[in-house]
Amino acid sequence: MARIPAPERRDALVEAALRVVSRRGIAQATTRAIVAEAGMSLASFHYAFDSRDELIDELITTVVAREQHAVIPEPVPGGDLREILEAGLLRYFEHLRGDPEHEQAMLELTHYALRSPERHPLAVAQYARYAELAAHSLEIAASHAGTTWDRPMEQVARVLVAFTDGLTITWLVDRDDDAARAVAHAAADALSRMAEPR
């Protein structure tokens, strides 16, 4: 096997772990499965990481830091706030449809982190990151629509995160595209009513 410095091997293992979690779930993401996915031997795993827990923690941290599927990157030309928000939510939905396993993996990682006190902060950080991305999108949306949020943006962002999450889980279960679009429509409606014309 090619000789790879430990730091690079850590990265490769994290990527392999993400693929395994996405494809088979976190319960199946054993050291052996991850190592096989990365094409390494078992010893290389514990040369790069002290433990599986350490890898999972780094996986969550990495994937959260990388998260960028901003809900509203490009505004609808000439649209009002509600239309811009809905377009953003639909854009997220298309992202979800394109890679359902990734969002499923993110959700599983959240629940995994939620189960142990020392990992709970990772889940909190994950959703704080979501809220940050949501706030950024909302800022752009309001600016393009010429409106101002009628309460602290963090609160609006939290609502958007909740709506997005609800859309995700329900669609992952029933794969009902029309229903998901209805959720996006309703969510955009509710959010747009949290703003006032500037």
- Minimum CB–partner distance for residue 62 and a copy of itself (Å): 19
User: In the set 33, 70, 90, 186, which binds a copy of itself (CB under 8 A)?
Assistant: 186
The label of the residue with tokens 């091997």 reads: 9
Site for DNA in 8-27 (CB under 7 A): 9
In eight-state DSSP terms, residue 76 is P
Q: Count Cβ atoms within 10 A of the Cβ of residue 175 and give its class: 0-12 exposed, 13-18 middle, 19 or more buried.
A: exposed
Q: Does 119 bind a copy of itself (CB under 8 A)?
A: no
> Which among 2-10, 51-59, 64-72, 186-194 is the span making contact with a copy of itself, rule CB under 8 A?
186-194
**Residue 149: which H helix or E strand, with range?**
strand 147-149
111: Cβ contacts below 8 Å, ≥ 6 apart:
none
Beta-ladder partners of 147? 197
Per-residue x/- track, 46-85, DNA (CB under 7 A)? xx--xxxx--------------------------------
What is the distance, to the nearest Å, from the Cα of residue 170 to the centroid of all Cα atoms in its chain?
15
Per-residue x/- track, 24-43, DNA (CB under 7 A)? ----xxxxxx------xxxx
Contacts with DNA, residue ranges (CB under 7 A): 1-6, 9, 28-33, 40-47, 50-53
